[in-house]
Amino acid sequence: MRSANKFLPAVRQRVSVIICARNEAANLAKNLPFILTQSYKDNTNNDLFEVIVVNDNSIDDTQRVLTQLEKKYPHLRSIVSMPEDAGKKGALNLGVSLARYDNLLLTDADCVPASNNWLQFMTAPLTTGMEIVAGYSGFYKTKSLLNAFIRWETTHTFLQYSTYAASGIPYMAVGRNLACTRQVLQKAMQHPLWKALPSGDDDLLIRIAATANNTVIVSNPQAFTSSPAKNSLLEWRHQKQRHLSTGKYYKSGIKFMLGSYASSHAAMWLTFFVLLFSPFYQWVLLLFAIRCCLYWPLWVVSASKLKESGSVYFYPLFDLGWMMYNFAFLPYITWKNKKNWK
């Protein structure tokens, strides 16, 4: 994985930050100032970025909040989206078409940057010829077991797609923390696959336009974002159904590799439980303990770098939970689509 520090440019380029929001009045009031006050200025202390919020048919106080913030921050622009059935990608398309600058940074209304240098670290690779920059977007820690598993699964997913990208095989990103050029995003928008789902713009961008030479992962903690995780199993399931719906559109080779990994992982756990009740159970327990000793330290190091160290204590339980997770969401991974973006 390439370090973000090598991409920091001597001269900063202007950036358009785009947020698509529907009924996000509370989140915008709380979180948007953290984005609007990023330390991304020229030598005369003028902001080198704009923030565009596309108000996608909100029925709460979203527009009132945006109007108030526009009075305080001149580099904020709010735009009212078009038809209600256009989905998130319709709102994103409008924001991209009205952006003043060619370097774009995409995030969500409920996300908070980890530092005032978030914008700088996420967009710096674009000044060196990169076209797509994927960052880490975690969740706030609470005391619930569901929250711990959500953070564990988020870490696991990042480790998967970041290592694939570092090997020259990018296959996904997270739209809560994603930078790209206008040109590469518009290229994706013109592809027939783009209209397959109302959301999924992040994964479809990678599927259509990412290559080994134009995509980079930024793992510097200053480039992270955080947002609240779902509090109930039902809400989380609804969210994951939507997120996983894009998996079926990955390239065939990626689907084979990811499927092989998930299948072998499930086979390992199922074999473990079958043999646990055999005369060889002592050997089975020993082999499982050896596996844990090999995997757990790697997980501890990786989670620590992503500021997710608290979830590592549940490693064996959540490793088993990930197998059940794959079985539970298999229909959405393989053939079903989630039609709503919120």
Q: Share the mean pLDDT of the chain.
A: 90
d(CA 99, CA 15): 9
Average pLDDT, stretch 214-236?
A: 95
Q: Which segment of 233-247, 297-311, 328-342 scores lowest on mean pLDDT? A: 328-342
Q: pLDDT tens digits, residue range 251-298? A: 999 999 999 999 999 999 999 999 999 999 999 999 989 988 888 888
Q: What pLDDT shows up at residue 297?
A: 87
Q: Lowest mean pLDDT of 24-38, 72-86, 253-267, name the range.
A: 72-86
pLDDT at site 212: 95
Instruction: Look up tokens 């440019």; give the residue.
Output: 9
Reply yes or no on whether the pLDDT at 9 is more than 80: no
Above 90 in pLDDT, residue 62?
Answer: yes
Residue 311: its pLDDT value, please? 74
Q: Identify the CATH assignment for 4-233 out of 3.90.550.10, 3.90.1150.10, 3.40.1190.20, 3.40.50.720.
A: 3.90.550.10
Q: What is the dihedral of CA 278, 282, 287, 292, to 10 degrees?
A: 110
**Mean pLDDT lowest among 127-136, 170-179, 294-303:** 294-303
pLDDT for 255 equals 93
The residues spanned by each domain of the chain are: 4-233, 253-334
Please work out, in degrees rounded to the nearest 5, the angle formed at the alpha carbon of residue 172 by the alpha carbons of 168 and 176.
130
CB 9 within 8 A of CB 43: no
Q: How confident is the model at residue 4 (pLDDT cuts 50, 70, 90)?
A: very low
Q: Is pLDDT of 120 > 70? A: yes
Question: pTM value?
Answer: 0.90
CA 147 to chain centre: 17
User: Could you tell me the two tokens for 280?
Assistant: 């060889």
The confidence score (pLDDT) of residue 295 equals 86
Q: Kindly state the percentage of the chain with pLDDT values over 90.
A: 73
Range 168-185 average pLDDT: 96
Of 238 and 114, the structure prediction assigns the larger pLDDT to: 114
User: Which residue in 74, 279, 104, 58 sits closest to 205, CA to CA?
Assistant: 104
Side-by-side strand order, sheet with 137-139: 112-113, 225-227, 137-139
> What pLDDT shows up at residue 247?
86
